[in-house]
A and B are shown apart, each in its own frame.
Chain A
Amino acid sequence: MSQTSTMTTARTRGLRALLPKKSGLIWVLIGLSAVAALISPAFLNPVNLTNVLRQVSLFGIVSVGMTFVILTKGIDLSVGSILGVCAVTAATLLTMGWPVAVVVVVVLLVGVLQGAVNGLGVTWGGVPPFIMTLGVMVMGRGLAMMIANGQPVSIRGVAEEFSWLGRGDMLGLPVPVWIFLLVAAVSIFVLRFTAYGRQVYAIGSNAEAARLSGINVKAVEFSVYVISGFLAGLTGLIFVSRLTVGEPTAGTGIELEAIAITVIGGTSLFGGEGTIVGTIIGAGILAVLANIMNLVGVSPFTQQIVKGAIIVGAVLYEMQQRKRRPKA
């Protein structure tokens, strides 16, 4: 008996709707974890698992933002720079004595602002997302360098209560993991069960049809870049707390990591297809892979090659699936 098509529309309710189309992805993660546990006894060490969860969270938060953007057929290359600007801003304000709560709000706004610049360029300016976010990425690094005077800004000994964000624990799990769970839960809900979420998918699938059916394409497109900027800023705050320093180079390269995670998780670069759960699994796969290679002592050069191969392999696989499935 042929399996009923798992082409879920956003309307489908139930737990089933939460799994990405290629629910086989979870098996890749489970398989990899099983092999990891077999190869290295240290993998199942609670400290190690916590580290892996933390890695998943740090990259995951940015990747969730990237998922929103890619769902609309866009791309955000500036998340690394936004992270950097927010990191140095946070560190600088903290060393100036500003209260932690105020700094958090201000820095998140800085992230939102940079995301808004991206959004405006893409919607009103009509600049292709690749170019717009590339420009913001380059400008952002310069801005971060300028704010920090080229040097890392240390917050050691300053605002000790801020260390909770990046280095604290809650009920046995690191705080960043809880933050990621919250971000992921809200995002899953928004994308699955709200009209806004449906609009995001619609725009990615067919922007013109979406516009003609009354969706405010520009507003929704603008919003996903703002979301991405906000989440990049949030990650920047966590970075500063974790490293006790705001480095202008913070986040360099994280955009490529986020794109890789999102794509491995099943989100299509052509828009309209993908899930947050998939992104989470993608983050898990890359984190476990990096972790096991480190634990076992695979040469750093080999690690890079393997990681790249996995990314290409995952997308190749997705392209094969796409060919086999009839386009609805």
Chain B
Amino acid sequence: MSKKSTLMRAALGVAGAVTLLALPNIAVAKDKYVIGFSQGTMNHPWRVAMVEGNKKYAEENLKDVELIITDGQNSSAKQVTDVESLLARGIDVLMISPLTSDALTPVVQQALDAGVKVVTLDRKVEVPVTVHVGALNLPIGEDAGKYLVEALKGEGKVIEIQGTAGASATNDRHDGFVTGIEGSKLEVVASQYADYLRENALKFMEDQLQRFGPGEIQAVYAHNDEMALGAIQALEAAGRLDEVVVVGVDGEEVAFEAIKAGKLAATFVYPFVAPEGIQIAYKVAKGEPVEPEVILPGKQVDASNIDEMLGTGL
């Protein structure tokens, strides 16, 4: 077989494969609302829930919507490219949960300038968009701070495990916390960006447990439940869980179970913007008036109300 014909076969093979994959999407009616949803990363159950929740709602209820989903794979450069692809394809509304606010701002501005309506979910960019949907992180940070002040009776050393550097959620959860512990004798002795990932938090906590001996850490404030659970894992392995109060954010079901088991002290439910995301994007696509900022309510969950919350978690 000559080289050229083998390659032709290979080329046809690849082309055939791509066509097969594309078949379900080719036959599309021209008069649907096209909504592009750019997710920053799918490496966390919270983000997967956001995508799946919105996707399911659209499939079941919005028959005149074509929803295209892209995954930035935790790279803002890739997410920028994803949005450019969506814009080139032609969309009516852009739903986006930006990885970081700065990197995604130029391309969101590009979308707005092109007349595409933009709905930001959970995280913001640096320019005003059509609608922002999300829960407020500042109050969550403050509440977490106040909770720890009460739990530690006003004094103690805290380790803060932060989310992704440069994300508005991270900044707010941090700033809110700082406000919440103001005036008390609580002190943040160590802080690290663990990217909202359990493994990163676990590693960081293991090292901090070496650095600070028994009795030197009173509390851990993690910006999300995954990281809180990672910290708990490290604390359990070191046999020091009962001397440390751990607080997380999100309201994952596994976190609720941890609260019931007495391992996690509290978490703050942070709605994962589904199906509100697609619902609002749909309204925006149809041209209906929507408030520029839609705040989703959160909730503090601890030992006092855990029984009613079990089973409702993410």
Contacts and interface: CB of A to CB of B under 8 A. Distances in A.
B40 to A, nearest CB: 12
B18 A252 contact: no
A40 B89 CA distance: 9
Q: DSSP majority for the A interface?
A: helix
A27 to B, nearest CB: 5
Contacts of A247: 76, 100, 103, 166
Contacts of B21: 293, 296, 298, 302, 306
Interface in A23-42: 23-25, 27-28, 30-32, 34-36, 39-40, 42
Contacts of B87: 47
Q: DSSP majority for the B interface?
A: helix
Contacts, number: 148
A244 B76 CA distance: 11
Interface residues of A, number: 60
A244 B12 contact: no
Contacts of A248: 165
A312 B75 CA distance: 23
A297 interface: yes
B210 interface: no
7 contacts: A42-B90, A48-B89, A150-B165, A245-B166, A250-B77, A291-B85, A298-B22
B268 to A, nearest CB: 24
B106 A321 contact: no
A243 B77 CA distance: 7
B80 A27 contact: no
Contacts of A289: 18
A244 B18 contact: no
A67 B166 CA distance: 34
A111 to B, nearest CB: 17
B100 A28 contact: no
Nearest to B11: A31
Interface stretch (A151-159, A193-201, A204-212): A151-159
B105 A156 contact: yes
Given A297-B69, A300-B69, 4 more contacts: A45-B90, A245-B102, A297-B68, A313-B14
A294 interface: yes
Given A242-B106, A295-B89, A310-B14, A24 B80 contact: no
A288 to B, nearest CB: 10
